[in-house]
Amino acid sequence: MHELSVAADICRAVAEHAAGRPVERLTIEVGALSCVNPEALDFALDEVAEAEGVSLGQWTIEPVPARARCACGHEYEAENLVEPCPACSGFDREYVAGDTVLVRQLIVVERNDEAD
Amino acid sequence: MTKRIELEKIVIDKGDEIALANRRMIEEAGVLALNLIGSPGCGKTTLLEHTIAALANPADGSPPLRIGVIEGDVQTTLDRDRIRRAGAPAAQIETDGACRLDAAMVSRALTELDLDELDLLVIENVGNLICPTGPKLGEHLKIAVLSTPEGDEKPAKYPAVFALADAAVFTKIDLLPHLTYDLDRAAGDCRKINSRIRVFPLSSVTGDGMDDWTGYLRSARAGLVAEHEAPGRPAS
């Protein structure tokens, strides 16, 4: 259940970057190769944000599939990693996305005091 | 008046600042670091005991390499003690329930080791084929360890660690006569998942295959040192 520690990392990072400004919206990307379960992370974020007293605003978790770039030039979503490239049937490929957990979007509300 | 502003994206579990700082510190000492990932009981610690011995006294007369180990377990210092008995300095991380190591834990454990006295640092992750896959700890190479009794279908069933690993070590090949285990299938699936992966079938106890494995570590370490000493490298 490492999603709890991932949730704690997210809360810490968001609080740090928001620097006291209210968080309105958060989009989190979870790569398939990161071995983080999106549903478990959703649950963990609820628990950790409440326990830590951090407001995350409205959050969305987007699963990101593993993305492979084949030597033939074809780039595709690799759902089953032992299946070959659908274009050339080869296996000479590298993974170019889907190996990380990322806060892709963080929108905070900033008050402009001068205008008050 | 208020306005909404969008901040820069934040990477959570990969290449974070602590992992980068660990790696910088390890590299400045000329040390190559490995992150060893495999199930409980797959033979990670036994592999290390025999790797320490093989690199301390190379049969082919090549210069010895000194290994230091950071052990990760849920509890006990049993593995640290085993590594010390095998003649290498070791630090233990007890994760108190956590299913994997993270860069901050490794950063604390690094203070217990004298990197200047080492050539290789092996971070043995908590026994688990899934959870340790994502976080970077500051290593140069990620090594997946799989024992033959676990079954030849494991790379296909748990592909992520093999997709991201630089090498896979198949341990306990001395047990092959007693198992229905197809080494070619396991190795073949690894290479399908990751065409760049190096595969090392070996037995720590009989020594079969150990030379290829230690040769790999030796050349990876030499590569790191050469990279550091290469002319034209910007001073840091």
Residue ranges per domain, chain A?
Answer: 3-109
Name which of A10-24, B149-163, B198-212 the model is least confident about.
Answer: A10-24
Is residue B188 included in any domain, yes or no? yes
Indicate the residue of B9, B14, B161 with minimum beta-carbon distance to A103: B9
Chain A CB contacts of B164 under 8 Å are 33, 95, 99
- Quick one: tokens of A56? 């995350």
Interface test with A, best of B1, B11, B13 (most A CBs within 10 A): B13
The residue written with tokens 């806060």 in the block is A103
- Quick one: tokens of B136? 């970077």
Chain A CB contacts of B4 under 8 Å are 24, 107-110
Radius of gyration of chain B (CA): 18
In this predicted structure, what is the pLDDT of residue B232?
55
Residue B235 has pLDDT above 50, yes or no: no
Average pLDDT over residues B72-83: 96
Main-chain phi, psi angles of A25, to 5 degrees: -155, 145
How far CA B176 is from CA of B138, B152, B167, in Å, comes to 35, 11, 21
- Quick one: tokens of B203? 């037995």
In this predicted structure, what is the pLDDT of residue A116?
47
In this predicted structure, what is the pLDDT of residue A112?
76
pLDDT-based confidence at B236, cuts 50/70/90?
A: very low
pTM: 0.91
Chain B CB contacts of A92 under 8 Å are 195
Q: 77-136 in B: which are within 8 Å (CB) of A?
A: 98-100, 102, 130-131, 133-134
Q: Mean of the per-residue pLDDT values for chain B?
A: 93
Is residue B11 included in any domain, yes or no? no
pLDDT-based confidence at B15, cuts 50/70/90?
A: low
Q: What is the pLDDT of residues B22-64, one digit of tens each?
A: 999 999 999 999 999 999 999 999 999 999 999 999 888 889 9
Residues 6+ away with beta carbon under 8 Å from A107: A23, A24, A25, A26, A57, B4, B5, B6, B7
Q: Give the total number of structural domains in chain B.
A: 1
Return d(Cα B52, Cα B90) in angstroms, integer: 12
pLDDT-based confidence at B1, cuts 50/70/90?
A: confident
Strands (E), A17-80: 23-31, 58-64, 67-70, 75-77
In this predicted structure, what is the pLDDT of residue B228?
83
Residue B231 has pLDDT above 70, yes or no: no
**Does residue B47 contact residue B171 with C-beta atoms inside 8 Å?**
yes
ipTM of the prediction:
0.86
Residue B83 has pLDDT above 90, yes or no: yes
Nearest to A103 by CA among A58, A67, A61: A61
Average pLDDT over residues B106-121: 97
In this predicted structure, what is the pLDDT of residue B59?
83
Average pLDDT over residues B103-128: 97
Q: Report CA torsion sign: B156, B160, B165, B168.
A: negative
Strands (E), chain B: 2-7, 10-11, 32-38, 67-73, 90-94, 120-124, 141-147, 167-171, 198-201
Coil vs helix vs strand at B91: strand
**Does residue A14 contact residue A106 with C-beta atoms inside 8 Å?**
yes
pLDDT-based confidence at A114, cuts 50/70/90?
A: low
Helix (H) or strand (E) holding A72: none
Q: What is the pLDDT of residues B118-154, one digit of tens each?
A: 999 999 999 999 999 989 999 999 999 999 999 999 9
- Quick one: tokens of A58? 């409205």
Helix (H) or strand (E) holding B102: none
Residue B215 has pLDDT above 90, yes or no: yes
Is residue B233 included in any domain, yes or no? no
Is residue B133 included in any domain, yes or no? yes
pLDDT-based confidence at A36, cuts 50/70/90?
A: very high
Residues 6+ away with beta carbon under 8 Å from B6: A105, A106, A107
In this predicted structure, what is the pLDDT of residue B130?
95
In this predicted structure, what is the pLDDT of residue A111?
84
Is residue B3 included in any domain, yes or no? no
Q: What is the pLDDT of residues A41-89, one digit of tens each?
A: 999 999 999 999 988 999 999 999 999 999 999 999 999 999 999 999 9
In this predicted structure, what is the pLDDT of residue B11?
81
Interface test with B, best of A5, A82, A106 (most B CBs within 10 A): A82
Domain A3-109 is found in CATH 3.30.70.1050 = no
Nearest to A28 by CA among A14, A18, A49: A14
**Does residue B186 contact residue B154 with C-beta atoms inside 8 Å?**
yes
Q: What is the CATH number of the domain that holds B43?
A: 3.40.50.300
At position B171, the amino acid (one-letter code) is T
Chain A CB contacts of B160 under 8 Å are 32-35, 81
At position A88, the amino acid (one-letter code) is C
Range of the domain at B42: 17-226
